[in-house]
Structure formats: C-alpha cells, structure tokens
Amino acid sequence: MHVILNTDCNAWSMNPTPGSPGVCRFCYRERNRVATNAETVTRVLDVIAHESAARRMVFTGGDPLMPYDNHLEVALRHASELGFEINVHTNGLLLRERYGRIREWVDVYSLAIDGPDAATADWFRGDGYFATFTDNIALLESERRTVAFNTFTSSTSINELDRIATMILDVASRTPVEYWLISQYRPIGRADARKAALYGFTPEDFSAAVDSIRERMGQIAVFDQPTRAPADAYPFRVWVLADGTVTVDLGSVAAPRNDVLGNALADGFAPLVRRALSLRSAPYHSGDTQ
Ligand code: SF4
C-alpha cells in the first residue's frame, strides 16, 4: 500500500551537473496536491487497516521527508501502532535531519541511487546527490537499519549496473538490504520525444542487463520495471493520498496520471479497491474513470 503525504519534492532545488539534462527530468513532478491534517491522516490509515489485508505501508511522494510538517511523524507512529511494516521511499536529501524523529517507526529505508559514483548518480539527481547518498548509507549502516535501493536507468547508465550491484553487495556486507528496484523510462501518458531520446533504450537491453546481475544479488530481491508498450499491463498498485483520495495504476500507458477512484473516508476503502480490480479485469480500459 502506497501512502502519499505530499506530491512535491525537494530534489527540484538541486543544481544540475554540467552536461546533465536537469535534475530528475524523467520524474512526473507536480506541485503538492495533498491538503490534509494530522487527524485526517490517522483516519485514512485506520480505514486502510480496517478494510484491507495490507501488511506493509510504503510512504512515498514526491519525497516524504520535505522541510515542512507533512504529518510524517504522526503517520509513521500511527501506522506502526496499527501493526504495519513501514517502508519510506526517499531521495534522502533530508534523511539525516529528520532521522531522529522517524527512526523508531521505520522498518525499511528505500534510497534512490542511479549510479555507482558521483559522475553518474549526480547526472540524474543533481550536484552533490551521491555525497548525500553515501552519508545516508553510513548513517543507516551505523545502526544496522534495513535498506533498499531504487535505480533509474538510461541507455548509458545501464552499462553501470554491474558496478551498482557491487556497491549494493558491499553495503549488504554491513547492513541488511531487502530489495533493489531497477526501472526504465516510462512515458506514461506524457510522451516526450526529448526525454525518450535522453533516457530511452530497448526493453530487451534493459532486461538483459538486469538478468546479468540478478544471480549475483543472492538473497536481495531484484525487481525490474521495463518500459511498457501501450498494451502491456502495469503491476496493480493502489496509492492513497493522505486526504483519503484513492488512485490506482490500471495499466493504461495512455492515462496522463493514475485513475482517481474516490475518497476512502467518504466511499470506504474496500469498495474502491474492488472497483479498481473490476476495472482492471475489464477487457478494455480507457484509463479515464474521472
Ligand atoms: S527525487 Fe524522486 S520524486 Fe524527487 S524529483 Fe527526483 S524522481 Fe521525482
């Protein structure tokens, strides 16, 4: 279950490195569109707990560690008290700053890392990103916290996958590593020729590169997200905004954003997920339920 406290991200303030197309140009960035409060957040988490069999709550965004009160601490504490495993997906830019207030409740820290060195990683996420990543890893290793990795690839960086694997295995020798998610550019409903030229390459090359490192990773689960053709289905994923809005990936590459199904507080969570499942199993889905 993915929970979104805010949709904006502080990576946007990073400076691009010379020769970079810009920071996270592959991201479907948008301004924050979640307006909520602490009481609403806890009610939303309660509804999910009572109306689903979900065991893990993934706090993602945007970035959930923004430099303002997005009710993260309240949400983590409450989700933990409800019995959920908690995974925070973050670029880590403010992890050290907020770590002391969240460490009690977080089970897995998923960090974005797109290269095995500053030259590659900073090209994607901004000047200084790799140094912050290295600092975060040292912090999490020092307390033997469980980590996971999220890697976005381009036609050039896919050749660095083996070196990233070596880096991750090195981390795994000091602290638990749960999984590694490797992704390829996905022009979901926002086809952009310039971005496709920057980041795009064939799904066959992507899959071959992922397959070549999979065995080395041992107990670390490797998940891959290749570019999909319009007819390919996405994995079924439910996203809940902290104001109760429920959205899903229904598999339509043509949809400009996730389908909005309703609000869990007004409509109930289980009925919305049942509706999503029936839409997904329909023979043709247009990607527009709004
Ligand atoms: S760090 Fe993640 S959410 Fe933030 S701009 Fe980059 S890809 Fe988007």
For 207-241, the pLDDT digits (tens) are 999 999 999 999 999 999 888 776 676 677 889 99
Distance from the alpha carbon of residue 125 to the mean position of ligand 1, in angstroms? 8
Using the predicted structure, report yes or no on whether residue 284 has a pLDDT greater than 50: no
For a ligand 1 pocket test, name from 5, 31, 63 the mutation site with the most ligand atoms within 8 angstroms of its C-beta.
63
Nearest CA to ligand 1 atom 6: 24
Span 119-135, average pLDDT: 97
Q: What confidence tens digit (pLDDT) does each residue in 164-179 have? A: 999 999 999 999 999 9
For a ligand 1 pocket test, name from 2, 32, 65, 91 the mutation site with the most ligand atoms within 8 angstroms of its C-beta.
91
Distance from the alpha carbon of residue 27 to the mean position of ligand 1, in angstroms? 6
| CA-93 nearest atom, ligand 1 | 1
**Torsion angle of C-alpha atoms 162, 168, 171, 175, degrees rounded to 10:** -150
Distance from the alpha carbon of residue 121 to the mean position of ligand 1, in angstroms? 13
Q: What confidence tens digit (pLDDT) does each residue in 15-68 have? A: 999 999 999 988 877 889 899 999 999 999 999 999 999 999 999 989 999 999
Residue 92 Cβ < 6 Å to ligand 1 = no
Span 128-142, average pLDDT: 98
pLDDT tier, 290 (very low <50, low <70, confident <90, very high otherwise): very low
What local confidence, expressed as pLDDT, does residue 134 receive?
Answer: 98
What are the structural domains of the chain? 2-280 (3.20.20.70)
Measured N-to-C along each axis, helices 38-51 and 269-281 cross at an angle, to the nearest 10 degrees, of 60
Residue 112 Cβ < 6 Å to ligand 1 = yes
- CA–CA dist 197, 157 (Å, integer): 14
* DSSP SS3 for 255: coil
User: Which residue, 102, 209, 82, is CA-closest to 155?
Assistant: 209
Residue 17 Cβ < 6 Å to ligand 1 = no
* 254 vs 152, more confident: 152
What local confidence, expressed as pLDDT, does residue 48 receive?
Answer: 97
Q: Around Cβ 22, how many Cβ atoms within 10 Å?
A: 14
Q: Where are the beta strands (DSSP E) in 91-209?
A: 108-112, 146-152, 177-183
- The arrangement of strands across the sheet holding 146-152 comes to 221-225, 177-183, 146-152, 108-112, 85-90, 56-60, 2-4, 237-241, 245-249, 259-263
Distance from the alpha carbon of residue 281 to the mean position of ligand 1, in angstroms? 31
Q: Does residue 256 contact residue 189 with C-beta atoms inside 8 Å? A: yes
Distance from the alpha carbon of residue 284 to the mean position of ligand 1, in angstroms? 31
pLDDT tier, 121 (very low <50, low <70, confident <90, very high otherwise): very high
Using the predicted structure, report yes or no on whether residue 289 has a pLDDT greater than 60: no
